[in-house]
């Protein structure tokens, strides 16, 4: 058999593999976006930025427990995903503001509903955790 036959069979199997890879990439993208916007710090950042332009130091003060490094990384990722716009104003020292994009403002309503749900049910969830821990001999987190 000569080389040409190998190429033809390789091309015939390449198309379905390419479609599987595209579908896998699209599924990963959705999962990654959901992971990103539901992350520990992202919700707080998006909630603050959706209310209007916010500076780094304002975010740092308003989001309890976040380190400067984690805030920086999360801001970069949200900007990369098109959820935030970073604007550097030419002042000394430079003034940097973050503002939610239209896509993030649309997400804001969903995050607000999720936050309200958590507030409404936090006591019931705490009680369920306590009951579970008692039943399973565990200490709470």
For residues 105 and 118, membership in a common domain is answered with yes
For residues 84 and 127, membership in a common domain is answered with yes
For residues 1 and 68, membership in a common domain is answered with no
Dump pLDDT digits (tens) for 55-85.
999 999 999 999 999 999 999 999 999 999 9
Which residue range(s) make up the domain with 113?
A: 40-135
- In degrees, rounded to 5, the angle at the alpha carbon of residue 32 between the alpha carbons of residues 26 and 35 is 145
Among 105, 102, 96, 51, residue whose Cα is nearest residue 75: 96
Dump pLDDT digits (tens) for 22-34.
666 566 688 888 8
Q: Quick one: average pLDDT of 29-43?
A: 86
User: Which domain CATH number covers 96?
Assistant: 1.10.10.10
For residues 28 and 46, membership in a common domain is answered with no
What is the total count of domains within the chain?
Answer: 2
For residues 76 and 130, membership in a common domain is answered with yes
């Amino acid at each position: 058999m000569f080389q040409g036959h190998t190429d033809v069979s390789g091309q015939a199997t390449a198309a379905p593999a390419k479609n599987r890879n595209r579908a896998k990439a699209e599924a990963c993208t959705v999962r990654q976006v959901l992971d990103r916007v539901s992350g520990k710090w992202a919700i707080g950042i998006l909630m603050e930025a959706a209310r209007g332009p916010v500076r780094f130091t304002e975010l740092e003060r308003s989001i309890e427990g976040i380190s400067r490094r984690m805030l920086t990384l999360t801001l970069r990722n949200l900007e990369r995903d098109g959820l935030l716009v970073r604007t550097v104003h030419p002042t000394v020292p430079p003034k940097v503001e973050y503002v939610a994009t239209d896509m993030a403002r649309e997400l804001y309503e969903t995050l607000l509903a999720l936050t309200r749900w958590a507030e409404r049910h936090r006591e019931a969830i705490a009680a369920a955790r306590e009951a579970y821990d008692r039943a399973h001999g565990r200490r709470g987190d």
